[in-house]
Amino acid sequence: MRFYLGTGRNTPSFAVAGDMGWKATFSRQLKCVVNVRCRSSAMGDDRINKTVFNYCRSLVGTGCKNWHFCVLAIFRRYDSSEFIDIENVHMYKQLLLNKLQANVTDKYIDQWTESLIFFNSVSS
């Protein structure tokens, strides 16, 4: 990639990522997480997967740091805490995805800008 951009091997990764216009990989991971959460919450109660899902969800407040705990922490970090307590979150899936991806992209751009400012201040 660096060859096609005409940059050297010592060019920082964030500069290459900025020139390429890449999205944050975390936004794609969040899309998969939201899809799994929505699919699991929409499952019928007679399924064993739904029973395990509900059991793990009930352990969140007890100090157990399972998958649900991590997902809820991500929702809080990216200002989407209004979707935490919704039972049928699959109805709001697209709204949740749009909000999470917008917030992740904003944070990614902010970090990219800060790294550019830091690199420019260090190199001059």
Q: Is the pTM of this model over 0.85?
A: no
Residue 77 pLDDT = 87
pLDDT confidence of residue 124: 56
Domain count, the chain: 1
Residue 3 falls inside a structural domain: no
Q: What is the pLDDT of residues 18-64, one digit of tens each?
A: 656 667 778 888 889 888 888 888 888 899 998 998 888 888 877 88
Q: Are 27 and 17 in contact (CB under 8 A)?
A: no
Alpha helices (runs of H) in 6-80, residue ranges in sequence order: 13-20, 25-42, 48-58, 67-77
C-alpha–C-alpha distance, residues 57 and 15, integer Å: 41
Domain housing 72: 33-123
103 lies in a domain?
A: yes
